Amino acid sequence: MALVGLSVQATWCHASVHYHHRGHHMSTQRRLGRRLIQLYAGLALYGASSALLVRSGLGLEPWNVLHQGIAERTGLSIGVVLTLVGAAVLLAWIPLRQRPGLGTISNVLVIGMAMDATLALAPDAHGLAPRIALMVAGIVLNGAATGLYIAARFGPGPRDGLMTGLHQLTGVSIRLVRTGIELTVVATGFALGGTVGVGTLLYAVSIGPLAQLFLRVFAVLPASDGSTVVATGQPRGAILRP
């Protein structure tokens, strides 16, 4: 009887370990699936939110001021320009020794397509109230998109990699490097015909708090026991924009 009991106990333990490992594997797959969904939903929403800011006509995000200015001069769509500029910035990672991730490459490919698709569907806004509504919606959705994308943890966007690479190369603070880059792209974009306005200023002061809020909402940290844990704070080292 003792031998039978030991055999049953051993079989039960083996089954329990097998079930635990299987459960851990399934949990890992679910987390990966959620991260992929967040990545591409965030990138698509980012492009759509940027298109809403274009339609508002009240000012764009700093980089899109540059993209719109180049689009005005070249006749290309703003989404195509965004993709081309993203690819060019990605090339600048090489001397800066930055390593792209899936999110980095996807950033270059997805946001521009989503932006052009939304611009094709969304009509121009007429009247101040609809334009303000589009501006506010664009900024809030951009914050949500940023939280979704960064929380997926698939690597920084090309422009953020440029920022961190210059920080590491020069020793200048992230804040100063980011400010210098954004002032440069806004000034260049404005000179080329990009739209700068109240939306640009409102975006600059609100995107940080909005992104931090949505990072807390969407962030999922891997747990050692295979369970999914929703983060209560901001992921360490997160950069608040794709």
Residue 189 is assigned to a structural domain of this protein: yes
Residue 112 located in a structural domain: yes
Q: What is the per-residue burial (b if ≥16 Cβ within 10 Å, else e) of 173-203? A: eeeebbeebbeebbeebbebebbbeebbebb
Q: Is residue 1 part of a domain?
A: no
Beta pairing partners, 229: 221
What confidence tens digit (pLDDT) does each residue in 73-123 have?
999 999 999 999 999 999 999 888 888 899 999 999 999 999 999 999 998
* Within a domain: 211: yes
Residue 67 lies in a domain: yes
Domain region containing 41: 32-218
Residue 22 lies in a domain: no
If one counts the domains in the chain, the total is 1
Please say if the pLDDT value at position 136 is more than 60: yes
Statement: the pTM of the whole predicted model exceeds 0.75:
yes
Residue 168: per-residue pLDDT: 87
Beta pairing partners, 220: 230
Residue 215, token pair as written in the block: 């990072």
Dihedral of alpha carbons 146, 149, 153, 158, sign: negative
